């Protein structure tokens, strides 16, 4: 990927900076309660959409700006730098949306895409099941086909992020029980207000209930909600997952960079052995390692994005990004707690401007970095077999 921005990219960066400088909410305004926070973030996404700063790389016909991926990344980096809240509709925008753009009928695109951009509809991804996470093709949720071509879904999904806040879910369900595992799966768009859906939020180690179990009991879905071909869902699911990982590493490193820069400032205020923690050799070494890790993540991510721009779609490199991301995020979060010293556990009594609770949250959330979007071990298998061409390991 090129390192210097062209005039159009610089102009867009200025536009984003100006909007963000005037509009980024004070972090104190963001509610702590997760449900209230989601509503706050939906309103924030609507404002960003009003300013034309959501889904920039989506085609203009579907409410985007037809911008390049580089421009999208530039804007995302500005958002991170400005301390902007996250875009809550990211499953719709970055995960399911690209598959809708590629595979959706005109009616589906007209119905769903603009509402994804504005945050009017939050989407969730109903892929994983108990016993069908890494081995996704083992999924057992069934969709019986009705006489009018519609579906009746029975099954159980788990780890479904934002399910309790979502209007729509992209569900993978088995529509042909006799076909081999990867065939006979369909990709069905399910209205989360349908009768027969039960959502049971799961509380993560962070204390947030970001994901849920979702039970489907004879949930009726009309034929028009099938995405792509009947029994052709596996290929679309792989497309969705490749976008989930696609340029996530680059976006995430921009967020982590802001956190680490904040930690360096906090280390000036913290005391260690009677002097600022930033002067302590161990703290300096830990923060330096975190800095190096983030630089590696950034450059690896940019390399993958460069390849993605050249190929026109995400490639296997995103598996490398995902492994690096999981490791770097966890190391950086640990570095943050190290620098806090006793405040990491005690919280109270930290100097002004130092927020141990925020770092505890960063540390705990980082555990998920090597699991979501495909675990680190699975990515290593992909790297070994499909990038390096090593023989398949024993399964
Ligand atoms: C924060 C978070 C959000 C998520 N959001 C969603 C969501 O919105 N929608 C959704 O569908 N899913 C979601 N997931 C689920 C995620 O995709 C799965 O957790 C992940 O794919 C791993 O599956 P699993 O949890 O079933 O673990 P398992 O597949 O049971 O794996 C358990 C362990 O065994 C290892 N393992 C398994 N198979 C192999 C193998 N062949 N070789 C080597 N090691 C192996 C794994 O790496 C892992 O360490 C989310 C997960 C997290 C943590």
Q: Ligand 1 pocket: which residues have CB below 6 Å?
A: 124-125, 127-128, 133-134, 159-161, 211, 368, 371-372, 374-375, 377-378, 381, 395
Tell whether 178 and 256 lie within a shared domain: no
Tell whether 144 and 194 lie within a shared domain: yes
The answer to the question of residue 195 being in a domain is yes
How many other C-beta atoms can be found within 10 angstroms of the C-beta atom of residue 151?
A: 23
Q: Which atom of ligand 1 is nearest to the CA of 368?
A: 53
pLDDT tens digits for range 169-209: 999 999 999 999 999 999 999 999 999 999 999 999 999 99
Beta strand 275-276 pairing with 211-221? unpaired
Tell whether 260 and 216 lie within a shared domain: no
Q: What 3-state DSSP class applies to 67?
A: coil
How many other C-beta atoms can be found within 10 angstroms of the C-beta atom of residue 132?
A: 18
The answer to the question of residue 304 being in a domain is yes
Q: Which atom of ligand 1 is nearest to the CA of 204?
A: 1
Query: How many independent structural domains does the chain possess?
Result: 3
Quote the DSSP letter at residue 204.
-
Torsion, CA 136, CA 137, CA 141, CA 145, rounded to 10 = 140
Tell whether 361 and 252 lie within a shared domain: yes
Tell whether 358 and 289 lie within a shared domain: yes
What's the CATH number where 132 sits?
2.40.110.10
Pick from 70, 88, 106: which residue ends a domain?
Answer: 88
What's the CATH number where 30 sits?
1.10.540.10
pTM for the full predicted model: 0.93
What is the extent of the structural domain holding 159?
123-230
What's the CATH number where 301 sits?
1.20.140.10
pLDDT tens digits for range 128-166: 999 999 999 999 999 999 999 999 999 999 999 999 999
**DSSP E strands, 19-167:** 123-126, 142-145, 151-161
Please give the average per-residue pLDDT across 86-92, as a whole number.
94
Reported as a pLDDT band with limits 50, 70 and 90, residue 395 is low
């Amino acid at each position: 990927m090129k390192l210097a921005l062209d005039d159009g990219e610089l102009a867009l960066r200025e536009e984003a900076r100006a909007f963000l400088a005037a509009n980024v909410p004070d972090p104190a305004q963001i509610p702590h309660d997760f449900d209230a926070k989601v509503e706050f973030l939906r309103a924030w996404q609507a404002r960003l959409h009003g300013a034309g700063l959501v889904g920039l790389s989506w085609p203009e016909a579907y409410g985007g700006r037809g911008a390049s991926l580089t421009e999208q990344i530039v804007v995302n980096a500005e958002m991170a730098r400005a301390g902007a809240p996250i875009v809550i509709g990211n499953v719709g925008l970055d995960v399911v949306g690209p598959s809708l753009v590629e595979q959706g009928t005109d009616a589906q695109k007209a119905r769903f895409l603009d509402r994804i951009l504005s945050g009017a509809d939050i989407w969730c991804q109903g892929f994983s099941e108990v016993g069908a996470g890494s081995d996704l093709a083992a999924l057992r949720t069934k969709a019986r086909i009705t006489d009018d071509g519609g579906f009746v879904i029975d099954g159980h999904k788990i780890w479904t992020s934002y399910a309790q806040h979502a209007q729509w879910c992209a569900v993978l369900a088995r529509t042909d029980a006799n076909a081999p595992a990867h065939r006979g799966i369909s990709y069905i768009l399910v209205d989360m207000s349908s009768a027969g859906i039960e959502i049971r939020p799961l509380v993560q180690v962070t204390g947030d209930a970001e994901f849920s179990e979702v039970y489907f009991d004879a949930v009726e879905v009309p034929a028009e909600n099938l995405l792509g071909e009947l029994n052709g869902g596996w290929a679309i699911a792989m497309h969705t997952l490749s976008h989930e990982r696609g340029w996530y590493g680059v976006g995430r490193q921009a967020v982590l960079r802001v956190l680490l820069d904040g930690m360096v400032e906090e280390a000036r205020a913290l005391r260690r052995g009677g002097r600022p923690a930033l002067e302590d050799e161990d703290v300096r070494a830990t923060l330096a390692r975190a800095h190096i890790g983030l630089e590696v993540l950034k450059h690896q991510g940019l390399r993958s994005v460069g390849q993605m721009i050249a190929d026109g779609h995400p490639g296997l490199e995103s598996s490398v990004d995902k492994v690096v991301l999981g490791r770097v995020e966890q190391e950086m979060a640990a570095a943050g707690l190290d620098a806090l010293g006793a405040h990491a556990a005690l919280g109270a009594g930290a100097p002004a401007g130092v927020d141990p609770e925020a770092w505890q949250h960063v540390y705990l959330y980082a555990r998920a970095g090597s699991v979501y979007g495909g675990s680190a071990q699975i990515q290593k298998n992909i790297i070994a077999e499909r990038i390096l061409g090593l023989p398949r390991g024993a399964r």
